[in-house]
A = this chain, B = another copy of it.
């Protein structure tokens, strides 16, 4: 399947089954902004929950945080975003359109007489590149003036840095320790795109780990390993995950080392998470700009130091997209195309479909009872409309790992058919055992693809 065809099919599936809708679609949409529908919100919730459990609940040395999107404007001076978070843009003086200076459609060098506008075709009308800041700005309070400018955070990390002392003191943690956060961030991207991959509003899952200087190298390696393991635990195809080391030209000026975890999307290998050794840049800058001492006193070593930071920064939307892309399959079954979303049962929005084979002979009553029993434990979907094959197909597209059918035999011996999404294998299971069978499958090792395999 051609790569753009796959993305088109995925976008179509996402709308059809209620994973992702275009924002404000009835008004023609808002560029590169997307809304999560009933299945998408559950899938993304499961991704975030999986991350929070691994990063906060399962560990003794990481605390959670939820800092606001709006922050004091000085934060962005300290972080370097006011001066440095910019893209070079050029204008066409003739048609008034604006482009990134590195737009591949521009012929020639912007600012030169031979440069040609990609929209109106005029020559020599493109300006020299000028820098534009990627932060969304707004005004707090009723007056629109410079003093009232605040920005929508372009990353959640700064909310962690400025709260580091408060978290340290209230949680009674000791270095090394981490602070984890999930939240929205905003970037006024000039060229967003690829569905929910690069959007202007997005959600990050970031963890900042504060360590003693000199130990940053080993912690960096440890976090690289742990984070790659986490992506494998989602059941992603191992060969579609790889490391990308930032070369000297890519490395941010404050970073000692940086690796991206990339996934092989239809549009190429792209970053889904970054692991960065940021040294003492962040706390150093905030100490300088705020005038507040941010040093840590190490009682054991009887010394003061500014902790170094190892960051793990993943995109919740990107991981969600990864699951959709990785799980999407088309198969030929009995001369028809079966579309399957093969996501890990623990992440699937709906765990089980429950069907009465026909709407009579007591089957709806038994199926309804089973549905309500199971719904206490996990999200289920009841469906009694259409042929059983069509009901299977709808659940396949929703990524539902199990379908349970109540039929004539159920009324006799209290068993139902459990049908497995990926293999389409069917087996009979006692009604009272269905819940535990599904729970066991959700925790089963066979879904946990580990990096060793």
Stoichiometry, as copies per complex, reads 2
Q: Nearest-CB distance from A226 to chain B (Å)? A: 18
Interface size class of A (residues with CB under 8 A): 35 or more
Binds B, one of A166-174, A230-238, A434-442: A166-174
With an 8 A cutoff between CB atoms, is A33 at the interface?
yes
Q: Nearest-CB distance from A384 to chain B (Å)? A: 11
CB <8 Å contact, B68 and A23? yes
CB <8 Å contact, B98 and A37? no
Out of B38, B89, B141, name the residue touching A64 (CB < 8 Å). B38
Q: In chain A between 8 and 25, which residues have their CB closer than 8 angstroms to a CB of chain B? A: 15-18, 21, 23-25
CB <8 Å contact, A201 and B27? no
Across the interface, which residues of B come within 8 angstroms of A162, CB to CB? Answer: 24-27
Q: Nearest-CB distance from A405 to chain B (Å)? A: 18
Chain A contact residues, majority secondary structure: mixed
In the complex, per-residue mask of A57-93: 1 if CB is within 8 Å of any chain B CB, else 0: 1101001111111111011000000000001010000
Residue of B whose beta carbon sits closest to that of A136? B138
CB <8 Å contact, B290 and A26? yes
Residue of B whose beta carbon sits closest to that of A72? B24
Distance in angstroms between the alpha carbons of A17 and B170 in the assembled complex: 5
With an 8 A cutoff between CB atoms, is A143 at the interface?
yes
| Interface of A toward B, CB cutoff 8 Å | 15-18, 21, 23-31, 33-42, 44, 57-58, 60, 63-72, 74-75, 87, 89, 98, 132, 136-143, 150, 152, 159, 162-163, 165-167, 170-171, 184, 186, 188, 190, 200-201, 286, 289-290, 292, 294, 375, 379, 382
A-B contact pairs, 18 of them (CB 8 A): A15-B170, A18-B167, A21-B163, A24-B71, A26-B294, A30-B70, A30-B150, A36-B67, A37-B166, A38-B170, A42-B64, A69-B201, A70-B200, A89-B142, A98-B143, A132-B142, A136-B138, A152-B152
